[in-house]
Every structure is written in C-alpha cells, then in structure tokens.
Amino acid sequence: MSQPLVSVIVPTKNSSRTLADCLASINNQYYKHIELIVVDNFSDDDTAKVAKKYTKQFYAQGPERSTQRNFGVTMASGKYIAIIDSDMNLSKNVIKECVEEMKADDKLVGIIIPEESFGEGFWAQCKKLERSFYIGVPYMEAARFFKKSDFLDVNGYDEKMISGEDWDLSQRISEKGPYSRSKSIIYHDEGHISLLKTLKKKSYYAKIFARYAKESRNREHASQQTSLVGRYALFFQHPVKLFRNPILGIGMLFMKTSEFAFGGISYLIAKNRD
C-alpha cells in the first residue's frame, strides 16, 4: 500500500541557531514519504544557507508567519500537512503516528502534538515547567497536523492575525470534525531566556491579541487563556509537580504573573487605541 505524502512546512526568520536541528529531526523521521518546505521571511543571517542543506524547496515570503505558512501550503503536494516552527525538534515517530491516526479514522480533521520545552538557564526551566501543565488542556493546545483539503477549505491561517493564529485555525477546522492527540512529542527549543526578554515578547503579542479574541468562535477560549485566576487554578491542581522544586515553582509563578501584568497592560492600551 502506497504511503500518502506529508508536506512539512517550516516558516523561518533569522532562525539559523535552531534550524539545523529542526530540519534534521524532520528528515530523520521514521516515516519517509515527506516533502520539506521552508518559507523564509527575508532573513539576514545564515537561515537560507542552513535550509538549503536540507531541502530544495526554499522560498522567500512575508511579512508574517501566517502568510509564510499559507504560501507553503500552496506549494505543497502532500495529502497531509504539518506546520512546524523553526525552533522545534520532532521525536522520530511524530509523522508516522499522525499519518496512522488519520488513516485509521476518516472523521479526524487534525492531530494535536504535545510539546515539551527545553532551554538554558533558570527562566527556561521555569518555562518548561509552565508548559508541562498545558498538555491535554483543550484551550491551551492547537493542532499542527491536518488534511491539506481541510486546511484549504477554511482558507488557512488568518493572515491579519499574528497572535493566537494557531488556536484560531484549530477552532475553524474543528467545525469540520474531531481532533486526536499523538503520544509522540515535539521538543520546543526555548534557548536562553531572560525575564526581560519573555516580558517584551508577551507585551508584543498581547498588543495584537485583540483580533483573535474578538472573533466569536474564539471568545470562550480567549477568556480562559487570558484569565490569571484560571491559570493559577490549573497550576495548583497539581501541587506536587508545581512545588517538587520549590524555587522553580515559585519562579514560574512569578514569571507567569509578570507576563500577565505586562501583557494585560499592553492589551488594554492597544484595545483602547483601536
């Protein structure tokens, strides 16, 4: 029986630090019927040089990752598509498991692939601990593996949406059918995180979160995603994990509270300005 082709699309922007590991993990999948497509947002580092060592399908497109991903899908020949970020490494069975899940149940429209963070320094360890609480939480996870036909039917990513676009796409495709979750995971390379860096990042995305939140299909999830009380409730449901390392647990709670404070202020300023 012939294996369906899977198109793996990786958007990049000055991604040379993490890209080789990401693309190598895709090429080293147990499932071999894969085409690898890299869509770069006009990087000024060695991203193009690195990408071309792993694939001939390298394109330049911008201005943001939603546009890059949509363009990549238009260049894809696969029955299935996987959307992978350039700072992610796939465990070897990810694509094989996703294909098998989709083939086993025609009603499935996508697969959620759990993520585990890693990185350098104290705050990276805090981020790893934080993300571990989100595995299996519906409003915090988004699918990354789809049928190409379903992706095109909903017109792909909303290109005006820079924050929350993964959740938004999952919400729209979920109207066509159910998702499944893989057992295999993606490792998310956080690099070296400073508290100031993560607060700046949170503030940037919070400013442009309003477009995602105002869509009626996203409002319920958005209210859960932006609730500090709800997030604390999620953390404290697992007190042993939260405080197995007390310093790490307290650090994570401090980081998350700071992110909510900076992000909330940025969101309100942007919303009032609009």
List of domains in the chain: 6-193 (3.90.550.10)
Give strand pairing partners of 181: 112
Asked whether residue 169 carries a pLDDT value surpassing 90, the answer given is yes
DSSP three-state, residue 118 = strand
Q: Give the pLDDT confidence score for residue 271 in this predicted structure.
A: 66
Radius of gyration in angstroms for the set of CA atoms belonging to the chain, rounded to a whole number: 18
Q: Give the pLDDT confidence score for residue 274 in this predicted structure.
A: 57
* Segment 38-42 mean pLDDT: 97
97: tokens are 């498991």
2: tokens are 């012939």
Q: Which residue has the higher pLDDT, 196 or 222?
A: 196
Of the pLDDT bands very low, low, confident and very high (cuts 50, 70, 90), residue 160 is confident
Do 8 and 82 touch, CB atoms closer than 8 A? yes
Asked whether residue 61 carries a pLDDT value surpassing 60, the answer given is yes
* Segment 131-145 mean pLDDT: 93
For the stretch 170-221, pLDDT in tens is 999 999 999 999 999 999 999 999 999 889 888 887 777 777 777 777 778 8
State the burial class of residue 267 (Cβ atoms within 10 Å of its Cβ: 0-12, 13-18, 19+).
buried
Q: Which residue has the higher pLDDT, 221 or 10?
A: 10
- In order of 29, 84, 117, the CA distances from 24 in angstroms are 9, 13, 18
Burial call 30-47: b when 16+ CB within 10 Å, e when fewer: ebebbbbbbbbbebeeeb
Distance CA 92, CA 2 (A): 20
Distance CA 71, CA 54 (A): 19
Q: Which residue has the higher pLDDT, 220 or 249?
A: 249
* Segment 19-46 mean pLDDT: 97
Helices 246-273 and 228-236: angle between axes, nearest 10 degrees: 160
Q: Give the pLDDT confidence score for residue 270 in this predicted structure.
A: 66
Give the rounded percent of residues in the chain with a pLDDT score beyond 90. Answer: 77
DSSP 82: E
Q: Give the pLDDT confidence score for residue 273 in this predicted structure.
A: 67
Q: How many Cβ atoms from other residues are within 10 Å of residue 255's Cβ?
A: 21
For the stretch 86-119, pLDDT in tens is 999 999 999 999 999 999 999 999 999 999 999 9
DSSP three-state, residue 81 = strand
Distance CA 270, CA 260 (A): 15
Q: Give the pLDDT confidence score for residue 263 in this predicted structure.
A: 81
Asked whether residue 51 carries a pLDDT value surpassing 80, the answer given is yes
240: tokens are 């042993």
Distance CA 195, CA 259 (A): 9
Q: Which residue has the higher pLDDT, 34 or 208?
A: 34
Asked whether residue 120 carries a pLDDT value surpassing 90, the answer given is yes
Q: Give the pLDDT confidence score for residue 163 in this predicted structure.
A: 82
Q: Give the pLDDT confidence score for residue 128 in this predicted structure.
A: 96
What is the rounded average pLDDT for all residues in the chain? 92
Amino acid at 148: K
**HSE toward the beta carbon, residue 142, CA cutoff 13 A:** 19
Q: Which residue has the higher pLDDT, 132 or 266?
A: 132
Do 205 and 162 touch, CB atoms closer than 8 A? yes
Asked whether residue 272 carries a pLDDT value surpassing 80, the answer given is no
DSSP string, 42-69: --SSSHHHHHTTT-SEEEE--SSHHHHH
Distance CA 238, CA 232 (A): 10
pTM here?
0.91
Q: Give the pLDDT confidence score for residue 164 in this predicted structure.
A: 87
Q: Give the pLDDT confidence score for residue 265 in this predicted structure.
A: 78
Beta-sheet pairing, 110-112 with 145-147: antiparallel
Distance CA 155, CA 163 (A): 17
